[in-house]
Amino acid sequence: MLSRVADSLYWMSRYLERAEHTARVINVQLSLILEHGAGSDELYWARVLRSLAIQLSGEEQDQATLAQSLIRETTHRASIVSCVMAARENARQVREQISSEMWAQLNRLFHSVRQARDQGEGIDPREFLQSVKDGAHLFQGITDSTMTHGEGWQFIQAGRHSERAVALSSLVGSYFRELPQTGVGEPEYLEWIGLLRSCTAFEAYCKAYTADLRPGRIAEFLVLHPTFPHSIRFSAASLEAAVKAIGAEAASRAASRVERIAGRLHATLSFSHIDEIMAGGLDSYLDTVLRQCSQVHNALYQTYIAYPIELALGA
């Protein structure tokens, strides 16, 4: 596969996953603000920005305004509209590699968010965010159903799960840095529910642990659960599987290096125990996960996308 094709498929998937994640987190936050009432918006919007790994400088606008701009503005690179537009542009460059159904669905989502951007304040933000989530989920389902599960599909999986592992690590870390982990009062109870809903995990958590919300159990579920799709461990396992499938096509020494790094990330999560993680500091542990995710991304890029010409000639 051409490196530019792999690059476009990988980033198409990452941008769409980022748009869906941002829409989900903001949608949950809008519900939490209704529960908490007026007067605390700035505090909660600031946490949303931190959970999305967006930093405010002193010259920027207030947190609530910036968070709202993530819904429809194109001036911010992390906004939902910007991410959907970037995903469509990457898909356009590899139109011949994806199915017509995939292209049609991504176009529908693109025109939907662009129309919402043009309408400005006239749109219902909750309805818009739900349409983004539905559109992204539909695209993922269409992709799995209409595209050959070969090398191109594996790059799409690698992009999706790489982005998801990073997003979940930032989200979980931001909550555990700021919320008390001893005793769960009513305000904290709503916040922990918000974290679970931001990961589409509330019902799944209740089936595993009932509705007894304990920070340690929440961390264990979101970080280490082996079969829940929005746990960090599941994302790492899916990323490793995609990298191995891509490497099987390449069968080179460089490919084995990518597999080794992805396997180390998966092993870090597979052989960890929540008591040891919490004793050593969840924040430090998630920083390690984020660093290893970056290493997998860099190795994947250096091996298959931005590799030196000497490597290609040697192959």
3-state SS string for 148-183: CCCHHHHHHHHHHHHHHHHHHHHHHHHHHHHCCCCC
| Spans of the chain, pLDDT less than 70 | 36-41, 55-64, 67, 120-122, 181-187, 250-254, 307-315
- φ/ψ of 226, rounded to 5, equals -80, -20
What CA–CA distance (Å, rounded) separates 26 from 187?
A: 18
pTM: 0.91
What CA–CA distance (Å, rounded) separates 253 from 117?
A: 47
What CA–CA distance (Å, rounded) separates 131 from 113?
A: 9
Residue 5: how many CB atoms within 10 A of its CB?
A: 17
What is the pLDDT, as a whole number, of residue 24? 95
What is the pLDDT, as a whole number, of residue 157? 98
What is the pLDDT, as a whole number, of residue 277? 96
Our CA dihedral for 222, 167, 72, 108, rounded to 10 degrees, sits at -80
What is the pLDDT, as a whole number, of residue 315? 46
- φ/ψ of 256, rounded to 5, equals -65, -30
Query: With contact defined as beta carbons under 8 Å apart, do 189 and 154 qualify?
Result: no
- Residues contacting 93, CB < 8 A, separation 6+: 4, 8
Angle between helices 253-270 and 232-250 (to 10 degrees): 160
